[in-house]
Amino acid sequence: MSVINKMLRDLDQRSASTLDPALRSGTRMAAKPQANAPAKTLGNIAALWGGIGAALLVMGFAAWWWSRPSSSLPVAVSAVSAPQEPLQVVTQPTSQPAVVLPPAITAGVALPASSVVPRPDVPVSSKPVVQATTSIPAVPKAGTSTVESADLKPSTPSSTVSPAPPPPVAAATTAAPVAAATPDPVVTAQRQQNATREVLAQAQALYSSGSADAAIQLLQDTLHTAERATPPAPAAIQLQLVRELARMELAQGRAAAVLELLGRSEPLMAAQPDLWAVRANAAQRLGRHQDALQFYATALQARPAEQRWLLGSAVSQAALGQLVAAADLAEKARAIAPVSKEVLTYLRQQGVALNDKP
């Protein structure tokens, strides 16, 4: 609008300059106008309207420029290129719907009329062939058949191959390995016996070299393994380990450990009088003379003429105050073989009446 006002002021100044000096000075009488006055007036009016038209044109262009959208002009899609040879897609029978390209892919891509795939409601011939014009894989909608891009290759519907059924497996083939996997009890027992002998030899070597604790620990670990095995190791193997372990622990003065070991192994000691005697000796060392008498009696039932066990029973009876029974047992022991003077002296000190014969 400022441009229009400026042009109007210029036109007013030009019109005022063409008036007669008498009119500009305010007098009523004016000279006669010149002959070319009408022509100048028409030229001024034409220039006025020309300026107004130019201003309007400039304003309209400016308004269009500022009101146009800021997004860039659409660019033609050139990334999609047609393959050299169109691929043929063998669709499913007419009972299944055809593949429909989603709007997200077809928008902005001009496809020829031959590449348009009919929708499910359009009947399809028995052998429809679709010419693929782009390499973009089709994304099926819900309810439509799925066509993998790897399947887009020339093929015929009759090229399906059914998998061959697996060969039957005979029941005898599975039963044979099971029977072969069952270990022979004789072979297993022999292997356990050999392993036990090796452990005993190693433990005795450690004990002889002064490593009594290491030898005892080795025997304990081996015995625990034999007891917890499934099935447990044979009783003969466990007894060998128990006997050697009790001997070493008793020699080291571990009477309580010997009692605990032999009490746990009592089911294996039915025909083992020597282990009952060791158990009685351990109880005697701990002052449990009543238990010692019971254990000695069990051992003497199998071997009644064992002098050491008779003297052990006599010592426990003397400790309990049973001096007559102790004297009888001591005399039985002296009748079998000579008795050391130290044992006889100990019995006499306990009050046992013994004969003076050597």
Q: Are residues 223 and 300 in the same domain?
A: no
What is the reported pLDDT for 110?
A: 42
CA distance 55 to 32: 37
What is the reported pLDDT for 253?
A: 95
Residue 238, number of CB atoms within 10 A of its CB = 19
69 domain residue, yes or no: no
Q: How many CA atoms lie within 13 A of 329 on its CB side?
A: 26
Domain CATH number, residue 310: 1.25.40.10
293 domain residue, yes or no: yes
Q: Are residues 301 and 351 in the same domain?
A: yes
Tokens of 80: 């999609």
User: Cis (ω within 30 of 0) for the bond into 231?
Assistant: yes
What is the reported pLDDT for 255?
A: 96
What is the reported pLDDT for 64?
A: 79
Cβ 273 vs Cβ 299: under 8 Å: yes
What φ, ψ does residue 57 adopt, rounded to 5°? Answer: -65, -40
What is the reported pLDDT for 187?
A: 83
198 domain residue, yes or no: yes
CA distance 174 to 198: 38
Q: Measuring CA to CA, how many Å separate 161 from each of 1, 130, 157, 166, 245?
A: 85, 24, 11, 15, 73
312 domain residue, yes or no: yes
Domain closes at, from 252, 270, 288: 270
Q: Provide the 8-state DSSP code for 157.
A: G
What is the reported pLDDT for 61?
A: 83
- Considering only CA atoms, which of 304, 300, 328, 303 is closest in space to residue 314? 328
What is the reported pLDDT for 242?
A: 95
Spatial neighbors of 206 by CB under 8 A, at least 6 apart, are: 212, 214, 215, 218
- Considering only CA atoms, which of 272, 225, 223 is closest in space to residue 248? 223
What is the reported pLDDT for 297?
A: 96
25 domain residue, yes or no: no
103 domain residue, yes or no: no
Domain CATH number, residue 249: 1.25.40
Q: Are residues 275 and 334 in the same domain?
A: yes
Q: Are residues 299 and 351 in the same domain?
A: yes
Q: Are residues 266 and 280 in the same domain?
A: no
Domain closes at, from 246, 270, 294: 270
- Helix 2-18 and helix 37-67: axis angle, to 10°? 170
Domain range spanning residue 308? 271-357
Q: Are residues 276 and 261 in the same domain?
A: no
1 domain residue, yes or no: no
Cβ 220 vs Cβ 245: under 8 Å: yes
Q: Measuring CA to CA, how many Å separate 232 from each of 112, 223, 227, 236?
A: 84, 10, 5, 11
315 domain residue, yes or no: yes
What is the reported pLDDT for 244?
A: 96
pLDDT digits (tens, 9 = 90+) for 217-232: 999 999 999 889 888 8
The tally of domains found in the chain comes to: 2
Domain closes at, from 229, 252, 270: 270
Q: Are residues 252 and 279 in the same domain?
A: no
Q: Are residues 351 and 297 in the same domain?
A: yes
What φ, ψ does residue 34 adopt, rounded to 5°? Answer: -75, 170
- Considering only CA atoms, which of 313, 295, 293 is closest in space to residue 258? 295
What is the reported pLDDT for 43?
A: 73
Tokens of 179: 């029977």
Residue ranges of the chain with per-residue pLDDT less than 70: 1-3, 14-40, 69-183, 357-358
User: Which 3 state secondary structure label does DSSP give 142?
Assistant: coil
CA distance 97 to 141: 11
Q: Measuring CA to CA, how many Å separate 145 from each of 92, 123, 162, 179, 263?
A: 8, 15, 21, 53, 79
What is the radius of gyration, based on Cα positions, of the chain?
63
Cβ 352 vs Cβ 330: under 8 Å: yes
Q: Are residues 197 and 262 in the same domain?
A: yes
Q: Are residues 251 and 295 in the same domain?
A: no
Largest pairwise CA distance in the chain: 196
